[in-house]
Chains A and B, each alone.
Chain A
Amino acid sequence: MEEVKEQTSHMPRIGEPAPIFEAVTTHGVLKLEDFKGSWLVLFSHPADFTPVCTTEFIAFSEIHPELQKRGVELLGLSVDSVSSHIAWARNVEEKTGVKIPFPIIADLNKEVSLAYGMIHPGQSKTETVRCVFIIDPNQVIRTILYYPLTTGRNMDEILRIIDALQTTDKNAVATPANWRPGDKVVVPPPNTQEMAEERLKQGYECTDWYLCKKKL
């Protein structure tokens, strides 16, 4: 019971600084600060040489060029050894032709997994669930996604969230449900009655004073 409590004691939250780490990876020892200035997608998978994880690694590798265009680095993690990660990455390349271009943390002592709340004992006491942490260039956590062991992640959604975050940061707007790049964005709601009245005269597409959209 104590072990379960320890493994669930820290859950990072959106808007907080990402927990710092120094970890052994397939690209050498990396620290969180090595990624400063870039966006970072830190994701965990349950285990090497497992079917759903293999499909995910292929999919992450396939979106890697799109992420690079957006200034985003990828960093995988599981509670496996570097040797296991290397063997698995080589096996994926040999069997599918897909080269894994990003580093993978070998978190055998679970230091990073526990700092990021990646182990959910209700799913597994030893493996990490499918977490995605989107961390901005200032190393603040901007999005957290958790998927169960049995559900592979949706790469389109990860790209969509990054596009949305970068768009909102750049333009001080918000994005509506199912937003895609090129769609209209939501103008922040007014804070005063005067601003609400002015808002309706500003040429936005308004459903009412609190819901106005515009083209970027």
Chain B
Amino acid sequence: MACISPDGKPTESGTKMLRALQAGVGSPEEIAKEAGLPLFRVRSGLRELAEAGLASQKGDKYELSPKGGEVLGASST
């Protein structure tokens, strides 16, 4: 898991992607730019975040899920 640690918390790159989603950035290309990560990492990471229920896919774009919002809130406190 590249975006979520074994303890269930998002990694640094996972947090960057979740923050981009929170900011309303939805396409992998835009998230890669916003998060400063390679596009292949973002595509793979978004898949992982969606499988974990932290993001949801709508067509070619992604959104932060309520669970993703909770995890992001918990990790920033």
Contact = CB atoms under 8 A, between A and B. Distances in A.
Chain A binding surface, main DSSP class: mixed
B31 to A, nearest CB: 13
Contact count band on A:
10 to 19
Contacts of B40: 30, 34-35, 38, 73
Contact of A27 (B39, B41, B47): B41
Contact count band on B:
10 to 19
B44 A29 contact: yes
Contacts of B45: 28
A27 B43 contact: no
B44 A31 contact: yes
Nearest to B37: A27
Contacts of A28: 1-3, 41, 44-45, 48
Nearest to B40: A34
Contacts of A37: 39
A29 B48 contact: yes
A193 B41 CA distance: 52
B24 interface: no
Most chain B CB atoms below 10 A, which of A29, A30, A34, A35: A34
B38 interface: yes
Interface string B9-53: 000000000000000000000000000001111011101100000
A139 to B, nearest CB: 12
Interface of A: 27-31, 33-35, 37-38, 73
Given A27-B2, A34-B40, 13 more contacts: A28-B41, A28-B44, A28-B45, A28-B48, A29-B2, A29-B44, A29-B47, A30-B40, A33-B43, A34-B39, A34-B43, A34-B44, A38-B39
22 contacts: A27-B2, A27-B41, A27-B44, A28-B1, A28-B44, A28-B45, A28-B48, A29-B2, A29-B44, A29-B47, A29-B48, A30-B40, A31-B43, A31-B44, A33-B43, A34-B39, A34-B40, A35-B40, A37-B39, A38-B40, A73-B38, A73-B40
